[in-house]
Amino acid sequence: MTTIEEVALRAKVSVATVSRVINDKGNVSPATAERVRIAIKELKYQPNAMGVLLRRERTGMVLILLHSVDNPFFSSIVQGVEKIAHENDYNVLISTTYGDQAREKRYIKLLQRHFVDGVILITNTLNREEIQELNAQFPVAQVLEYVEGSETTHISVDFYQAGRAVMEHLIGNGRKRIAFAHTGLIDIISTKEKYRAYRDALTQHQLPILTSQLNVYPFGFSSGQSIARETLQDHPDTDAFFASSDLIACGIMDQLKQRNIRIPEDVAIVGFDNTIFAETTQPKLTSVELNSFNMGVAAMTLILERLKSQTDTHQPSIIFPFELIQRESS
């Protein structure tokens, strides 16, 4: 393996000069820099990446932490982050935590040990004090989910109002026996606010609350099937489902079709996130659009602004608009 000393010998310069060219530090004449680059190419020299990072103030890396890659909604956020990252010569490291606190803290150490310059939290298990302390030292952006009461900037939507829009749509179309379907984490802001909207709307319209509490189910299609089975067993006259994600809605649809229950004539379904599933189901799924790509763009832009300012000044949170996309399922 070629060493930096061999490159210096071939280019007839010092090791320090080769290092300055590699790290683009200047103070090297164009002719000398070109000679060094030729030597690097001829010898096929690859600088030690860790050594380069240690000599720089920044790594050019940002960490994204998310619960899992099962939900295609997250991929749209990541695409937005990557767009801005790549335009600014940054790389993105994506890590999944599956709600495991120990796993999440292990990834957070990458930030604390300066292996990455900032972190974008799409889901996290940090408490208020932990995220406040982290944000005081490093660029942090919360996307979608956020810690209530924290001054750490978040980019999200008003989940309560989005949930109310879903419920008013279903109730306005004559649905009176509405169930709430959720899988995955139940103590995150999106789940709590959607469920609060569900209960408040039913109470206001003096309708029964079929889903009186949230049970823990693994996120995914099969859990949507299970929720539909259990709900119809307990409440066979259910006439609508408010699903907290499109993938769950797809599982519910599958179970209804197996029972020859017509959608939406017998049972209406509304999903959430407006992923590719919403357009590919039969019938097409009514869902809530959250501008996920633009959330990713805003999050990475915020990280870059924080790096540029090099302060922990609180930046205002961004609440994106949502839109209920009405399709055939409701």
pLDDT digits over 174-202, tens only? Answer: 999 999 999 888 888 999 999 999 999 99
Model pLDDT, residue 314:
60
Model pLDDT, residue 73:
84
High-pLDDT (> 70) share of the chain, %: 95
Model pLDDT, residue 223:
93
Task: Report all structural domains of the chain as residue ranges with CATH numbers, in order of start.
Answer: 4-55 (1.10.260.40), 61-157+292-320 (3.40.50.2300), 159-289 (3.40.50.2300)
Model pLDDT, residue 281:
94
Model pLDDT, residue 56:
52
Q: How far apart (Å, rounded) are the C-alpha atoms in residues 17 and 119?
A: 34
Q: How confident is the model at residue 311 (pLDDT cuts 50, 70, 90)?
A: low
Residue 114 has phi, psi (to 5 degrees) of 65, 30
Model pLDDT, residue 90:
93
Most confident of 15-29, 97-111, 257-271, 296-310: 257-271
Model pLDDT, residue 18:
85
Model pLDDT, residue 257:
96
Single pTM value for the model = 0.81
The residues, ordered by sequence, that sit 6+ positions from 328 with a Cβ below 8 Å of its Cβ are 263, 264, 283, 284, 285, 286
Torsion of CA 182, 193, 289, 75, to 10 degrees: -60
Q: Which amino acid is at 64?
A: I
Q: Minimum mean pLDDT among 26-30, 94-98, 131-135, 144-148: which range?
A: 26-30
Q: How confident is the model at residue 3 (pLDDT cuts 50, 70, 90)?
A: confident
Q: How far apart (Å, rounded) are the C-alpha atoms in residues 38 and 31?
A: 11
